[in-house]
């Protein structure tokens, strides 16, 4: 076999295994946390979860603002609606 055939076969095998891994991961963690710009544009999958409850916690905590200038006393608060630059939600 020449080098081109070996390289082609190697790439095909890598792509096949990566697709199989993606399908397995999607079955194990079916709930997705999506993050979108305001107006639901430019969305992407931020994380995957086994159940909706865990995803909802991540969405809620992701909207908090925390001040960690003093590591012994980290202060957090929920973001106000007009402060949000992105929107997160859970979906299958």
Tell me the pLDDT band of 1, cut-offs 50, 70 and 90: low
CA-based angle 41:36:30, to the nearest 5? 120
Q: What is the pLDDT of residue 22?
A: 67
For the purposes of burial, counting CB atoms within 10 Å of the CB of 55, is it exposed (0-12), middle (13-18) or buried (19 or more)? buried
Return the structure tokens found at 80.
């106000």
pTM of the model: 0.58
Domain ranges of the chain: 3-91
Per-residue model confidence as pLDDT tens digits over 5-63: 888 888 888 888 787 776 776 678 899 999 998 777 789 999 999 999 999 999 888 87
Distance, in Å, from the CA atom of 52 to the CA atom of 63, rounded to the nearest integer, reads: 17
Q: Which residue has the higher pLDDT, 55 or 78?
A: 55
Q: What is the pLDDT of residue 35?
A: 92
């Amino acid at each position: 076999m020449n080098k081109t055939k070996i390289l082609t076969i190697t790439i095909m095998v890598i792509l096949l295994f990566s697709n199989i891994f993606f399908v397995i991961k999607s079955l194990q963690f079916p709930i997705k946390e999506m993050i979108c710009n305001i107006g639901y544009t430019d969305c992407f999958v931020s994380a995957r979860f086994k159940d909706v409850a865990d995803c909802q916690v991540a969405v809620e905590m992701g909207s908090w603002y925390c001040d960690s200038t003093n590591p012994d006393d980290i202060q957090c608060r929920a973001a106000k609606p007009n402060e949000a630059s992105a929107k997160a939600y859970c979906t299958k």
